[in-house]
Amino acid sequence: MDLPQGTLDLLILKAIALERQHGWAISERIEQISNSALKVNQGSLYPALHRLERRGWIKADWDVSDNNRRAKYYRLTKKGQKQLEEQTGAWRSLSAAINLLLDHS
Amino acid sequence: MFTDLYFRLRALVRRPTVERELDDELRFHLDHQIEKYVAAGMTPAEAARRARIEFGGVDQVMEACRDARGVSLVDTLLQDLRYGGRMLRRSPTFSCIAIATIALATAAIATVTSLADTLLWRHLRAADAATLVSVSATRGRPTEGVVSYPDYASFRDRATTVSGLAAHYSTAPLFVAVGATAKEVNGAVVSASYFPLLGLQPALGRFFHAEEDRVPDRDRVAVLGYDFWRTWFAADPSAVGSALTINGVPFTIVGVAPANPVALTPLPVNVYIPTMMLRVGYRWCKDSLASDCNTLGMVGRLAGGRSVAEAAAEFAAIMPERWRHAPIGENRGVAVRQPRGMSEDDEEPRLVATLGAVAILLLVVCCANLGGLLSAQAASRQDEFAIRVSLGAGPLRIVRQVITESLLLALAGGAGGLVLSRVFIGALSRMFFSMDDEGHPLVYDFSPSMPILLATLAAALAAGLLFSAVPAMTAVRRSSLRPLATRSTSARWAASRGLLAVQAAVAVALVATAALLASSARLVLTGRNYDASHVALMRLRPRLVQYTPERAQRFQREVVERLRAVPSVESVSMVGVGSILGGGTAKAALPGWPKELEMTVRYNEVGPAYFDTVRTPLIEGREFADSDTLQAPPVAVVNETLAARLWPTPAQATVGKPDGRWLDTVIVINGTPRQVVGVVADAAITSRTQAAQPWAYVPFWQNAGAIDSRIAVRTSGDPAALLPELAREVHPIDPAVPIADTITLPVQIAGLTRPVRVAALFIGYAAALAMLLTAIGLYGALAFAVSRRTKEIGIRLALGAARGRLVASIVREGLGVVLAGAAMGIVLAILASRLVASLLYGSAGSDWLFYAAAAAAVGVAGLGASLLPARRAAGVEPIVALRQE
């Protein structure tokens, strides 16, 4: 299933909420957690990462990865943390409302 | 916000690093993906293929990342600029025409802004100019009113909103003698507080001590202007301490003012004396320091934290009590404002606004023209655009490209315009702003300023955006993937037809207006009922050297007799008030009228043969003669307008029809009954918006108080050549008497009517440019249409069409547009002439001639512009044309 519009940012923020990740790991993580139900289009993942970085929601550092290669790790900033909370809340109320609507009829 | 900026900057400045990082990051991802697939059992080659397909185009992703990082805005701009530069280099002719056109149009904008800045906007060039205020009396009219010394002192001592209040009379004609050199120069009578208040430091010596400005007539000290010191004293420091004579009174020089003093008027100040010396500097009052002698302007420095409004409120509250009950025409209110600009002419704000409108109109015409040319160019570039669209450029990108190119052109043109405007301003300044109507040098500060730069930049940018609008739209419409070969020229020609007609209309309106103004500038010299040509002027001021009226009369008579004897002199006369053809005001009434009926009329004291000298027709009776002296019965001459007001004619009789009814009747002028001996035609310099005024003239010789005079000499030759000889004749009678303002009457009138001449020149420039542009635009459009129709024309010719008819059809097409525009233009011109009516002289009766001539001129230009492409069309060889493509 493709991601609904505008949810990629939220998923990225969620994926690195616990610990820093590099790009590939983020896409893997989203797929794994959603039981492969959600598939991240890799072509849009990186632009999204760069956009979030520009907004200051996430921060990137270069570090050595598990297999001894240089990789770019993204982690949540304070601003990003706040965004994550806000967007999670917004998404929850939206989906609850939509569920309500769908169940009702 | 800051992270955003940091990112964009980093992306821009450290581009190689950023690009490499992006590359590394994406490669890392791909490698991981491949490893994953290999681990799942794929062959490395298959895994790599699969990973790449999933990932999509690496280049697209990188581009999207760059977009996300915000690099691309600047990046594409640079790319557009590179493309733009390349395109402009590829068609140098077009680029040159475009840049030149914009330069000529923006130069007009920059010139007007410079005029506006200097005349209307600019602060004084003083330290902390924002806290300086000028304080003036109001007299029921907006003109600034001067005040008397006691009134100034009362304001100075009572005001608390200003930390200082200085008085100045900055246009004092002082007759200065140093050794054997004597000349009338412009001087200033200033309070001791004047220099410190304006923050000035002496270049040499000192300014006035406060003590030197306390006791009337005691301290004869003077400060020299810097240029005066350099020319009269050859910049000799020992000038300080030496003596000079001002209006016959010896003074001691105590200092020299700095080279760039704060100029309160355009007349440069050569000598400063303290206000307590006002009786030497101003000789037109019985007592120049009395409360009935208004001579002084005031300039104040706001006290810390006080606003102009607060000062205005305070000054209104503390103004002299008698002002509150004063009649209109005398000081009865007070105005406090920030001194802005150098304009002293009520007409000038209107003039600047008019010129501004013309400059904007010219810019719009330029844009229409370039838009037309550029869209023709865009049409011929449609293949290029189509290819770029098919290679993936979005329509927005194409539009941006077109706009970038236009902006490049516009900015280059704007820069040229800025440079050109300095030349124009230099010329305007030399021609119109370097001498006043009495021949005194003027100094206007036309130095470049921020408003000029901003206005030019704004004009250039606006022009760039405006003239790219049409081609940008054309480009978008065309860039939809239509077959590359299909072209439509007819639609484009129809669109540019409208633009061209509008251009022609504006050109006609501008040409007609410019012609009207130019003719007014000429008519004002040889106006209805006067002729200024061949009249030389000279001002004699025995009052400056303490002549009594009796002595002055003897002196003036001798002057007139001597000058009459000069060969080539036809007649000699003079006026006692104001200037030749000008004058002051007086009260006129018929005997027995109550005071309320008294009329305020224009008035002058004129010498014998005055009306003959200025060529004003005598309608009936006689003009003054040598015999009209103080001993003879008092007489007067009135003009038609006054005659009609005093003795309203029955309906059937018209003014000017001599019936002798009012000759020898008595009129009371300023309380003196006088016999009317003549009626003259209305002969004042009045523009179309000014009504004819009633005038009363009395003989110069019958004014017991007359001392100074302005002599007018009519000669059969060149009046300018006669000026030195006139001075040589008068000088020996009494070498002490100052001779000033030796100029010709045309020069004086030209100085008085500066706005009309400035407008005539400026609008003439705009008109010439608009006409040229219309011709170029028409030529370009027709030539383009013809080149696109070569094939069609070839077929027609092959089918036997006559070449003559072909030429005629193309010329008809071009002329049709121009003539339609010209018709609109005449309507515009009629409206425009209403707008500038205050600058027009002479009757409106023959205006239609100018409209017709303007339309004809633009028509001829249009004919020329269409003939060239038509002849090229007629020269088409059918075989060659058909082989094309």
**Contact B714/B703 with Cβ under 8 angstroms?**
no
Kindly identify which residue of chain B lies nearest to residue A67, measuring between CA atoms: B32
Q: Which domain holds residue A53?
A: 8-104
Token readout for B741 is 């303002």
Of B3, B7, B65, the CB nearest to A46: B65
Nearest to B634 by CA among B680, B677, B590: B677
Q: A62 has which bridge partners?
A: A72
Give the total number of structural domains in chain A.
Answer: 1
The answer to whether A55 contacts chain B (CB < 8 Å) is: yes
Q: Does residue B77 sit within a domain? A: no
The confidence score (pLDDT) of residue B468 equals 79
Kindly identify which residue of chain A lies nearest to residue B67, measuring between CA atoms: A47
Q: Is the pLDDT of residue B479 over 60?
A: no
Cα gap B522→B828, rounded to integer Å: 23
The confidence score (pLDDT) of residue B30 equals 85
For residue B323, give the DSSP letter.
Answer: G
Q: Does residue B548 sit within a domain? A: yes
Reported confidence tier of residue B494, pLDDT bands at 50, 70, 90: low
Of B4, B21, B54, the CB nearest to A54: B4
Nearest to B408 by CA among B370, B381, B451: B370
Q: Domain check: are B503 and B470 in the same one?
A: yes
Distance from CA of B53 to the nearest CA of A (A): 10
**Phi, psi of B649, deg, nearest 5:** -85, 150
Q: Domain check: are B324 and B370 in the same one?
A: no
Of B7, B24, B33, the CB nearest to A70: B24
Which pLDDT tens digit goes with each residue over B822-880?
999 999 999 988 888 888 887 777 888 889 999 999 899 888 888 888 888 887 777 77
Which pLDDT tens digit goes with each residue over B303-360?
888 899 999 999 989 988 888 888 777 888 888 888 888 887 777 888 899 999 999 9
Q: Domain check: are B181 and B271 in the same one?
A: yes
**Contact B622/B678 with Cβ under 8 angstroms?**
yes
Reported confidence tier of residue B240, pLDDT bands at 50, 70, 90: very high
The confidence score (pLDDT) of residue B510 equals 92
Which pLDDT tens digit goes with each residue over B745-773?
988 888 888 888 899 999 999 999 999 98
Q: Domain check: are B720 and B777 in the same one?
A: no
Q: Provide the edge-to-edge strand list for the sheet that holds A70-76.
A: A21-22, A70-76, A58-64
Where helices occur in B381-489 by DSSP H, the ranges are 382-390, 395-432, 450-479
**Contact B355/B759 with Cβ under 8 angstroms?**
yes
Where helices occur in A1-105 by DSSP H, the ranges are 8-15, 23-33, 42-55, 78-104
Q: Which domain holds residue B621?
A: 535-746
Which pLDDT tens digit goes with each residue over B666-714?
889 988 899 999 899 888 777 888 888 899 999 999 988 888 899 999 9
Domain boundary among B19, B42, B70: B70
Suggest the residue from A12, A31, A36, A42 to mutate for an interface test with chain B (most B CBs closer than 10 A).
A42
Q: Domain check: are B653 and B551 in the same one?
A: yes
CA distances from B175 to B263, B561, B755 (A): 21, 25, 30
The confidence score (pLDDT) of residue B656 equals 47
CA distances from B294 to B49, B235, B330, B812 (A): 98, 35, 10, 69
Q: Domain check: are B167 and B258 in the same one?
A: yes
The confidence score (pLDDT) of residue B764 equals 92
Domain boundary among B23, B38, B70: B70
The continuous run of DSSP H or E covering B750 comes out as helix B745-752
Kindly identify which residue of chain A lies nearest to residue B28, measuring between CA atoms: A71
**Which residue pairs, CB below 8 angstroms and at least 24 apart, start in B393-396?**
B395/B476, B395/B479, B395/B480
Q: Domain check: are B577 and B441 in the same one?
A: no
Token readout for B752 is 């008085």
Token readout for A93 is 């109320």
Q: Does residue B110 sit within a domain? A: no
Q: Domain check: are B460 and B502 in the same one?
A: yes
Q: Is the pLDDT of residue B487 over 50?
A: no
Cα gap B646→B669, rounded to integer Å: 13
Largest CA distance in chain B: 136
The answer to whether A31 contacts chain B (CB < 8 Å) is: no
Q: Does residue A1 sit within a domain? A: no
The confidence score (pLDDT) of residue B478 equals 53
Reported confidence tier of residue B106, pLDDT bands at 50, 70, 90: very high
What is the radius of gyration, based on Cα positions, of chain B? 37
Q: Is the pLDDT of residue B145 over 90?
A: no
**Contact B675/B635 with Cβ under 8 angstroms?**
yes
Kindly identify which residue of chain B lies nearest to residue A54, measuring between CA atoms: B4
Q: Is the pLDDT of residue B76 over 90?
A: no
**Contact B662/B647 with Cβ under 8 angstroms?**
yes
The confidence score (pLDDT) of residue B242 equals 92
Q: Does residue A97 sit within a domain? A: yes
The confidence score (pLDDT) of residue B191 equals 94
- DSSP letters, B35-51, are HHHHHTT--HHHHHHHH
- DSSP letters, B530-582, are ---TTEEEEEE-GGGGT--HHHHHHHHHHHHHHHHTSTTEEEEEEESSSSTT-
Which pLDDT tens digit goes with each residue over A15-38?
888 888 888 888 888 888 877 777
The confidence score (pLDDT) of residue B481 equals 44
Q: Domain check: are B172 and B260 in the same one?
A: yes
Cβ within 8 Å, pair B68-A50: yes
Across residues B392-403, what is the average pLDDT?
A: 73
Which pLDDT tens digit goes with each residue over B439-459?
888 888 898 899 999 999 999
Q: Does residue B264 sit within a domain? A: yes
Q: Domain check: are B179 and B155 in the same one?
A: yes
Buried/exposed B237-267: b ≥16 CB within 10 Å, e otherwise: eebbeeebbbbeeebebbbbbeeebbbbbbb
Contact residues on chain A for B61, CB-CB shorter than 8 A:
42-43, 46-47
The confidence score (pLDDT) of residue B495 equals 62
Show the 3-state SS of B796-849.
Answer: HHHCCCCHHHHHHHHHHHHHHHHHHHHHHHHHHHHHHHHHCHHHCCCCCCCHHH
Across residues B774-797, what is the average pLDDT?
A: 81
Reported confidence tier of residue A105, pLDDT bands at 50, 70, 90: low
The confidence score (pLDDT) of residue B236 equals 92
Distance from CA of B57 to the nearest CA of A (A): 8
Q: What is the dihedral of CA B754, B758, B761, B765, to 10 degrees?
A: 180
Q: Is the pLDDT of residue B6 over 90?
A: no
Mean pLDDT over each residue of chain B, to the nearest integer:
84
Strand B243-246 with B162-178, pairing? antiparallel
The confidence score (pLDDT) of residue B142 equals 53
* Single-letter code of the amino acid located at B184: E
Residue B217's SS3 state is: coil
Cα gap B262→B338, rounded to integer Å: 14
Cα gap B225→B237, rounded to integer Å: 13
Q: Does residue B83 sit within a domain? A: no
Domain of A39, CATH number, reads 1.10.10.10
Distance from CA of B83 to the nearest CA of A (A): 27
* Single-letter code of the amino acid located at B529: N
Q: Does residue A43 sit within a domain? A: yes
- Residues shown for chain A: 105
Kindly identify which residue of chain B lies nearest to residue A55, measuring between CA atoms: B4
| Top-confidence range, B423-427, B574-578, B816-820, B878-882 | B423-427
Residue B435: count of CB within 10 angstroms of its CB:
16
The confidence score (pLDDT) of residue B436 equals 83
Contact residues on chain B for A24, CB-CB shorter than 8 A:
28-29, 32-33
Distance from CA of B65 to the nearest CA of A (A): 4
Which pLDDT tens digit goes with each residue over B22-71?
888 888 888 888 888 888 888 888 888 888 887 777 777 777 777 777 65
Suggest the residue from B65, B72, B73 to mutate for an interface test with chain A (most A CBs closer than 10 A).
B65
* Structure ipTM: 0.88
Reported confidence tier of residue B476, pLDDT bands at 50, 70, 90: low
Share of chain B above pLDDT 70, in %: 90
Give the total number of structural domains in chain B.
Answer: 4
Q: Domain check: are B396 and B289 in the same one?
A: no
Cα gap B330→B323, rounded to integer Å: 8
Q: Does residue B10 sit within a domain? A: yes
Kindly identify which residue of chain A lies nearest to residue B64, measuring between CA atoms: A47
Which pLDDT tens digit goes with each residue over A65-91?
777 888 889 988 998 899 889 889 888
Residues belonging to chain B with any Cβ–Cβ distance to chain A shorter than 8 Å: 3-4, 7-8, 21, 24-26, 28-29, 31-33, 54-57, 60-61, 64-65, 67-70
Q: Domain check: are B201 and B330 in the same one?
A: yes
Domain boundary among B725, B746, B767: B746
Strand B297-302 with B618-621, pairing? unpaired
